Chain A
Amino acid sequence: MGIYLPIAEISVNVFVLLAMGAAVGFLSGMFGVGGGFLITPLLIFYNIPPAIAVATGANQVIASSVSGVLSHMKRGTLDFKLGGVLLAGGIIGSTGGIYVFAFLRRLGQLDLFISLLYVVLLGTVGGLMLVESINALRATRSGAAPVLKKSGQHNWIHRLPLKMRFRASKLFVSVIPVLGLGAGIGFLSSIMGVGGGFIMVPALIYLLKVPTNVVIGTSLFQIIFTSAYTTLVHATTNQTVDVVLAFILMAGGVAGAQYGAKAGQRLRGEQLRALLALLVLAVAIRLAIDLFVTPPNLYSLSALGLN
Chain B
Amino acid sequence: MTGRKAFATAIFLSLLAAVVPAKAQSLLPEGIQIGLSTDNVSITAGFSGADLTIFGSLENPDPLVARQNRYDVIVVLEGPPRPVVVRRKDRVLGVWVNLDSETFENVPMSYSVATTRPLQDITEPNSYKQLSLGASNIYMQPADAGDSPATIEEFTTALRERKAATGLYSENVGGVQFLSQNLFRATVRLAPNVPVGTHKARAFLFKSGLFIKESSAQLEIRKSGFEQSIFRVAHNYSFLYGVFAIALAMLTGWLGRLIFRKD
Contacts and interface: CB of A to CB of B under 8 A. Distances in A.
B87 A66 contact: no
A269 interface: no
A10 B191 CA distance: 12
Given A255-B256, A298-B90, 20 more contacts: A4-B44, A4-B46, A6-B231, A62-B250, A66-B257, A231-B246, A232-B239, A235-B238, A235-B245, A236-B239, A246-B249, A247-B248, A250-B252, A254-B252, A255-B260, A261-B263, A295-B89, A298-B88, A301-B159, A303-B85
Interface stretch (A42-50, A86-94, A237-245): A237-245
A258 B86 contact: no
Contact of A250 (B48, B96, B98, B256): B256
Interface in B71-130: 82-90, 94-98, 101, 103
A77 interface: no
A218 interface: no
Contact of B95 (A11, A292, A299): A292
Interface of B is mostly: helix
B256 A235 contact: no
Interface of A is mostly: helix
A9 B230 CA distance: 11
B82 A300 contact: no
A232 B242 contact: yes
Contacts of B159: 299, 301
B161 to A, nearest CB: 7
A128 to B, nearest CB: 23
A5 B252 CA distance: 19
Interface residues of B, number: 60
Contact of A244 (B97, B223, B230, B260): B230
Contacts of A258: 256-257, 260-262
Interface of A: 2-7, 9-11, 59-60, 62-67, 70-71, 108-109, 111-112, 116, 224, 228, 231-236, 239, 241, 243-244, 246-247, 250-251, 253-255, 257-259, 261-262, 291-295, 297-304
B144 to A, nearest CB: 13
B239 A66 contact: no
A34 to B, nearest CB: 11
A243 B252 contact: no
A304 B260 CA distance: 45
Interface in B193-228: 193, 223, 226-228
Interface in B30-66: 44-48
Contact of A304 (B46, B82, B89, B226): B82
A258 B88 CA distance: 45
Nearest to B47: A4
A227 to B, nearest CB: 8
B253 interface: yes
A71 to B, nearest CB: 6
Nearest to A232: B242
A294 B96 contact: yes
B70 interface: no
B253 A232 contact: no
Contacts of B83: 303-304
B249 A63 contact: yes
B254 A67 contact: yes
Given A254-B260, A300-B98, A59 B246 contact: yes
B256 A108 contact: no
Interface of B: 44-48, 82-90, 94-98, 101, 103, 155, 158-159, 161-163, 165, 192-193, 223, 226-228, 230-231, 234-235, 238-239, 241-246, 248-250, 252-257, 259-263
Contacts of A255: 256, 259-260
Contacts of B162: 297, 299-301
B101 A235 contact: no
Contact of A254 (B82, B97, B257): B257
Contacts of A109: 97-98
Contacts of B249: 59-60, 62-63, 66, 228, 231, 246, 250
A254 B87 contact: no
A247 B86 CA distance: 33
Given A108-B87, A232-B243, A243-B245, A292 B262 contact: no
A259 B260 contact: yes
> Which 7 residue pairs across A and B have the least CB separation, nearest first?
A254-B256, A66-B253, A235-B242, A62-B249, A299-B158, A258-B260, A304-B83
A71 B248 contact: no
A254 B192 contact: no
B230 A6 contact: yes
B98 A303 contact: no
A66 B97 CA distance: 38
A251 B252 contact: yes
B224 to A, nearest CB: 11
